[in-house]
């Protein structure tokens, strides 16, 4: 059973402010909308927004990489007003970007881009060590019990990966009340 304690991911700001979190990263920041919200409504001193340089799209059985210039430009426009509080990084190898940071560097890691199976597991493994004790590990695309039996295959795979990762480390996962909600847990001190 998953505990639902927040209405939506925007209530994470209350946790950030209450816990006094200062440094965070959003993995899969897309156009920067959620990063903008976090910077505008929290006391974070530094937020790193990470987005892929290109996306792979399947068109008639062919994989085509398309540049996400519009998302990058939008992110830059949305976040430049926050000056040194905001840093943007663009890379197709998000797990490798995690390696560029020292361990215990972030108070919050938010995985905004829902990936499935091995991809999510790889991200969890890469970013978990970067989280400080009592830090918040969280992400988007989690199906709560109320919606679990839907045909949302990708979301169910996110839930399974997150639940397995958390269970192996002795954590209980909490989630927001949305159908495709945010999952989270606080790293043990």
CATH number at residue 104: 3.40.50.150
Between 73 and 15, the higher pLDDT residue? 15
pLDDT, residue 81, reads: 96
Report the C-alpha gap between 122 and 135 in whole angstroms.
19
Which string of DSSP letters, residue by residue, matches 144-182? PGGGTTSS-HHHHHHHHHHHHHHHHTT---EEESSTEEE
**What's the pLDDT score for residue 151?**
54
pLDDT of residue 146 exceeding 90, the answer is no
- The pLDDT of 87-111, averaged and rounded, is 89
pTM of the shown model: 0.86
Q: Mean pLDDT, the chain, as a whole number?
A: 84
- Counting beta carbons within 10 angstroms of the beta carbon of residue 38, is it exposed (0 to 12), middle (13 to 18) or buried (19 or more)? buried
Q: What is the band of 187 on the pLDDT scale with cuts at 50, 70, 90?
A: very high
| SS3 label, residue 56 | strand
Q: Which of 9-23, 40-54, 123-137, 154-168 has the lowest mean pLDDT?
A: 154-168
- Please tell me the total count of domains within the chain: 1
| Residues 6+ away with beta carbon under 8 Å from 141 | 114, 154, 155, 158, 180
What pLDDT does 189 receive?
A: 83
Which pairs from 144-151 meet CB under 8 Å and 24+ separation? 144/2, 144/4, 144/175, 144/176, 144/177, 144/178, 144/179, 144/181, 145/1, 145/2, 146/179, 147/179, 147/180, 150/179
For 35, the domain range is 3-186
C-alpha triplet 8, 14, 17: angle, nearest 5°: 145
Task: Say whether 18 sits in a helix, a strand or coil.
Answer: helix
């Amino acid at each position: 059973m998953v505990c639902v304690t927040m209405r939506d991911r925007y209530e994470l700001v209350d946790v950030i402010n209450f816990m006094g979190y200062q440094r965070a990263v959003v993995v899969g920041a897309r156009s920067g909308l959620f990063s903008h919200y976090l910077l505008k409504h929290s006391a974070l001193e530094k937020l790193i927004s990470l987005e892929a340089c290109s996306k792979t799209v399947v068109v008639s059985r062919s994989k085509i990489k398309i540049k996400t210039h519009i998302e990058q430009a939008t992110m830059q426009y949305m976040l430049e007003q926050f000056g040194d509080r905001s840093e943007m990084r663009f890379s197709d190898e998000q797990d490798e970007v995690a390696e560029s940071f020292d361990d215990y560097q972030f108070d919050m890691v938010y995985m905004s881009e829902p990936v499935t199976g091995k991809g999510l597991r790889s991200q969890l493994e890469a970013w978990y060590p970067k989280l400080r004790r009592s830090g918040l590990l969280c992400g988007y695309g989690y199906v709560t019990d109320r919606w679990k039996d839907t045909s949302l295959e990708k979301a169910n795979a996110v839930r399974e990966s997150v639940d397995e990762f958390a269970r192996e480390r002795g954590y209980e996962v909490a989630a927001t009340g949305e159908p495709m909600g945010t999952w989270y847990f606080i790293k043990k001190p």
